Amino acid sequence: MSDAASRLRRLAAFFSQGFLLLATALSLVAVLLIILYIARDAIPFFKLRGLKELFTSTSWFPSGNPPEFGALAIFVGSGLVTLGAIAVAVPLGIAAAIALSDILPYRVRQMVKPVIEILAALPSVAYGFFSLVIFAPLLQNHGGSLLSLAAWLIALPLGLLLISVISEIATRPVRADVAKAARLIVAATLAAVLVRGLLALSAALNKVTISSGTNALNVSIILGIMALPTIVSVAEDSLQAAGRELREGSYALGATRAETLFKVVIPAAGSGIIAAVILGVMRAIGETMVVWMASGNAAQIPSPWFNFLSPVRTLTATIAGDMGEADQVLGSSRYHVLFALALCLLLISFAANLASEWILRRQQRRLGGLK
């Protein structure tokens, strides 16, 4: 009897283990199947049209007669929008993470962090609606003044910070009794130059008119905001994980708060911060709804290429927008080209993932060596 019971138990253990293994394997199998099926429908495109046109031509006329499938402008559009999102999200996100973990009082952090994380829960179509209906007209009607306001907001604090550092360094050789006055004089002249420069810049920016508000700038900002919660949350977690002992050790050695932050805590949390940035960037590359609604979807390379005020088209939006039922004519290049684009997108995100993995490994090895 007890023999039978133990056999039963072993059988149950075997099956439950098998079940758990299956559940774990399921996600892996799903990923593999997705790659397989996308590749299966992408390869016919390359057989029909070759490689060169897709990657070198900028003529995207899938419905034309004859059709043209030059996606270079679409790749550039995706790259541009991602670059813009990085420019918005990375500095803001890391600064916010540092402020939350090391500068603001604990109670504020406990209140602010959940609110930032709610941003991640907003559906992307809501962001898209906002950027199409509110942000795009705002850019069209007040584009110049918004740009100059942004210039002030970015340049003034950065400039003042820089001035305080420069005046400190520049007056170091000066005698101690006049050092304070010298520092003040240097800072004041630099501040005057800064304000003068900013006034000229904002006057120039004020003259800019944005004819179409659905452009790369609009989407970059919105995608940046969407990537923020991921970056803040993950980076802040890794800063926290650096630990109290490390900070206290640094203070005990006589380091100031800034020195502790920049020379101890941030290097220790570096890998986590990089992981946070890459996660945020992946969200920006893969986002579809917002770009489909608010990037303008014009398949052109902006001139000059960094002109963020021009409408662009991205890979994701092209796949979503052209995947109408009208196109599901099996065997046509118009159908297969979308899978070819999807395959490229998949490869890009794979490459980014591998890169992040590699950076993390290297970082860990270096830190290990320091110990």
Partner 1 sequence: MKILSTIFTLVLMAGSLGFAADANKIVVDGSTTVGPIAKAFAEFYMKQNPGVNITVSESGSGNGAKSLVNKSCQVASMSRLLKLNEYEAAVHSEILPVVHVVALDGIAMIVHPGNPIAKLSMAQVKDIYLGKIKNWNQLGGPNAPIVIISRDTNSGTYETFEGKVMQGEKIAKNCEYVGSNGAIRQRVQSTPSALGYVGIGFLDNTVKALPIDNVVPSAETVKNGSYPIARPLYMVTNDYPRMGSHLYRYVNLYLSKKGQTMIEEIGFIPVTSY
Query: Which span sits near partner 1 by CB under 8 A: 92-100, 194-202, 272-280, 297-305?
Result: 297-305
Please report, as residue ranges, which positions from 187 to 246 form the binding site for partner 1 (by CB under 8 A).
Answer: 209, 211-214
> In angstroms, rounded to a whole number, what is the distance separating the alpha carbons of residues 216 and 139?
12
Nearer to partner 1, 223 or 319 (CB): 319
| DSSP string over 198-233 | HHHHHHHHHT---S-SSSHHHHHHHHHHHHHHHHHH
Smallest gap from Cβ 171 to partner 1, in A, equals: 51
**Contacts with partner 1, 300-329, as mask; x by CB under 8 A:** x---------xx-x-------xx-xxxxxx
**Contacts with partner 1, 13-52, as mask; x by CB under 8 A:** ----------------------------------------
Nearer to partner 1, 53 or 237 (CB): 53
The secondary structure of the chain in percent helix, strand, coil, rounded to multiples of 5, reads: 80, 0, 20
What tokens appear for 209 in the block?
Answer: 């008119």
CA distances from 112 to 127, 234, 275 (A): 21, 14, 22
Nearer to partner 1, 173 or 324 (CB): 324
Helix (H) / strand (E) containing 60? strand 60-61
Q: How many residues bind partner 1 (CB under 8 A)?
A: 37
What b-and-e string marks burial along 246-267, b requiring 16 or more CB atoms within 10 Å of the CB? ebeebeeeebeeeebbeebbbe
- Residue 59 is a binding residue for partner 1 (CB under 8 A): yes
Residues that bind partner 1 (CB under 8 A): 58-65, 73, 132-133, 136-137, 140, 209, 211-214, 292-293, 296-300, 310-311, 313, 321-322, 324-329
